[in-house]
Structure 1
Amino acid sequence: MLDLVSLRRDFHMHPEVGFTEFRTASKVVEILASLGFDVIYGADAMDGDSRRGLPSADVLEAAYERALRDGANPQIVEKMRGGYTAVIGVKKGKQEGPAVAFRFDMDALPVLESTDADHLPQAKAFRSRYEGNMHACAHDGHTTIGLGLAEKLADGNFSGTVRLIFQPAEEGVRGAYSIVQKGMLDDVDYIFCHHLGTNVPLGEVHGASFGFLATTKMVAHFHGVPSHAGASPEKGKNALLGAATALLNIHAIPRFSTGSTRVNVGVLEGGTAANIIPQHAKMIVETRSVSEEVNAELEQRVRNIIAHSAAMHELEHEIEVIGGAIPINSDLDMAELAIEEAKQVEGFTAFKVSDSNAMGSEDASFMIKRVQERGGKGTYMAIGTDIPAPHHHPKFDIQEEILPRSVELLHRIAKRLLT
């Protein structure tokens, strides 16, 4: 029987950021295979061209080598090389029936974990071994719950098919789209996604979370001409000045009457020295809205500003989408079903069918929408756990008693739909 706490702590000690989850995904493949699941992974589970915000080849290779040093199965991770870290576990029941999917994200964050004595992972010696990376958003717990659910369903004593989706690169909303584009959701009738925490206390469950924003995340590169800033400034074309022009105008975009919006330039880099006209500048910008349509218009305005700012300063430019998500419209009958089953799980004491407690954006939105487009249903649940610090904080942690409760909840949902 899987030791959920030990498993979660192992994942916590080895946090891997988006598309570098080689060790984590390797362990997931091994456990699923040992439980008799058919396992789809590597390029078989993802459309390579649809991955967004892929790290550089050097970063991917360094993470790959680190995973091998830390116990990843060489035969398994070879298929994941280059950032193909999605894993899909499939179990067919003893009779025909619907296909039910559950999604679990695996990636960590580029956060330096706390060494304070009151931080439980530090006190219990399972703090991150990868300095500068940390599981600060409960994805180590989500992955553990997925494997616990796999163990519960391993006997195949149900009617239909279970599909367990272990997703890379949720942070930055980058990884789900490639799984959808590969067709991994095309034969799914029901999908359930969830998140631990999200300001929901221990013992409380929400069947649906609303308020997720549509978003587009882009990186823009500006290319100019360097020149001596004192002797011949007029012969240069200042890429940083073009990027700064774009920044100011992006933040001056007016609000929309048809839906609330967000826009932010989070990174602006350029130049090499005080006496050189900057040849290159890079900007990372995001748009968000409650409406998919408004976000698309906002994105186009940002693109126009970047293009015209570059032209104004006689620069070349290119824009790459490095992440994206759409709003989630959960099916309330699925949310109600989840709450009915949660009421049967010891330790859950407070329930809401739905609540607007979403945090930012979620690319599980693409999975849920694909299932709904093909006639199926889905929901995004919140499962409460008290947290000592906010998500993405160096002292973030979860209460580990939520792990078996969550497994039991998802198992009950699966058996409810597969009887």
Structure 2
Amino acid sequence: FDIDALGVIESQDDSHFPAHEGFASVNYGMMHACGHDGHATIGLGVARVLSEIKDSLHGTVKLIFQPAEEGVRGAKSIVAHGHLDDADYVIGNHIGGFGTYGDAYFIPGSGGNMATTKLDVWFHGASAHASGSPHLGHNAIQAAAACTMNLYAIPRHGAGASRVNVGTIQAGTGRNVIADVAKMEMEVRGKTTEIKDYMEEHTRKVIKACAEMYDCTYEIKVMGGAQTAESDPELMARVKRVIEEHMEYKVADYIPQPGGGSEDVTYMMHRVQEHGGQATFFRSFCKTDGPAHSRVFNFDEVVMPRVVRVFASVVYDIMK
């Protein structure tokens, strides 16, 4: 259950349901714009249900409340600390709006998430008077600007989809000063880990070349990342069977999609799968307001008890 918020300024308009009802974010510039507040609530609901039937369960259940999904950092740390080393199954979920699967409430698994690396990049130059002595300066803004344009010119990989994006550039101290520092926050993605690695390799070449072009130095810091992963057919079949046998919810078969999203739950899935376990990342659908990551995003709360029921029922089916 991922629990982190996003750096989004939430709408305070009365037409925005959380604002109208008085539960919009109280932390300016931070917002639950991807449903993770719902995920946290679902996790607590699952904990309550499983505690009520604990005498019927044979084995150990771990409920993982994961931080830092949006920067794809949290899951890797959880795996590194060994929390999945003894797990035979890992089951994750994300809520979202109706779309490709029509009026289905669930798909029992998913895959094809893009591998990604998140990078912070700094160009370091030398400041100088922009008119009096520009020849003494080394313009970090020029390096960052050239880098941005050339990153989007990286040749795409023939084996699958790839992405590059510079999301922020911060630089400069005044209109008449040659900027000595510029910072970029950026990401690369690939349909496979190999394609992502290709994009990252070329990104690093572009950064190095643009720094040299403007007599700047540079530094790169990896801020997060995620792998690709596929849900196990056997566990997907179990999830679908449990829903169909015990619930009235419509469930559709997972169909691989060309979407460009990334999820770091893939680290948990890989860890369990590599020692013979099974993993799935099922999806749940409901009515939503606005697109995810927007300042007006909201979801129909009816989805939460549905997902609690699915989680608890699948755990019971495995451990009864």
TM range (shorter): over 0.9
Q: Which has the higher contact order (CA 8 A, sep 6+)?
A: 2
Contact preservation (8 Å) 2:112, 2:230: no
CA gap 1:180/1:226 in 2 versus in 1, 3 angstroms: same
- Determine if the alignment matches structure 1 residue 182 to structure 2 residue 72: no
Superposition pairs of residues 268-283 of structure 1, within 5 angstroms: 268-283=169-184
SS in 2 for 1:170: coil
Contact preservation (8 Å) 2:240, 2:251: no
* Alpha-carbon distance in structure 2 between the residues aligned to 1:364 and 1:162: 17
Contact preservation (8 Å) 1:109, 1:135: yes
Who is 1:170 aligned against? 69
Shift of 1:381: 0.6
Superposition pairs of residues 358-373 of structure 1, within 5 angstroms: 360-373=261-274
* Alpha-carbon distance in structure 2 between the residues aligned to 1:412 and 1:239: 56
Contact preservation (8 Å) 1:224, 1:237: yes
Who is 1:400 aligned against? 301
Shift of 1:354: 4.3
Q: Which runs of 5+ in 2 are unaligned?
A: none
After superposing on structure 2, the runs of 4+ consecutive aligned residues of structure 1 that deviate more than 3 Å are: 198-203, 344-347
SS in 1 for 2:288: coil
Deviations 1:106-139 (A, max 9, x none): 0111222222333222232222222222211111
CA gap 1:118/1:202 in 2 versus in 1, 3 angstroms: farther
Q: Which runs of 5+ in 1 are unaligned?
A: 1-103
* Alpha-carbon distance in structure 1 between the residues aligned to 2:89 and 2:203: 36
SS in 1 for 2:289: coil
Deviations 1:183-203 (A, max 9, x none): 111111111111011535665
* Alpha-carbon distance in structure 2 between the residues aligned to 1:202 and 1:141: 20
Contact preservation (8 Å) 1:209, 1:358: no
- Note the aligned Cα RMSD (angstroms): 1.7
- Determine if the alignment matches structure 1 residue 300 to structure 2 residue 201: yes
- What is the TM-score normalised by the length of structure 2? 0.93
Who is 1:259 aligned against? 160
**Aligned residues with identical type, % of pairs:** 40
Who is 1:343 aligned against? 244
* Alpha-carbon distance in structure 2 between the residues aligned to 1:198 and 1:186: 33
* Alpha-carbon distance in structure 1 between the residues aligned to 2:41 and 2:173: 45
* Alpha-carbon distance in structure 1 between the residues aligned to 2:300 and 2:68: 23
Shift of 1:172: 2.2
Deviations 1:206-238 (A, max 9, x none): 011233101111011011111112121111111
Superposition pairs of residues 321-336 of structure 1, within 5 angstroms: 321-336=222-237
- Determine if the alignment matches structure 1 residue 234 to structure 2 residue 132: no
SS in 2 for 1:343: helix
Contact preservation (8 Å) 1:339, 1:353: no
- Correspondence for 1:223 among 113, 124, 127: 124
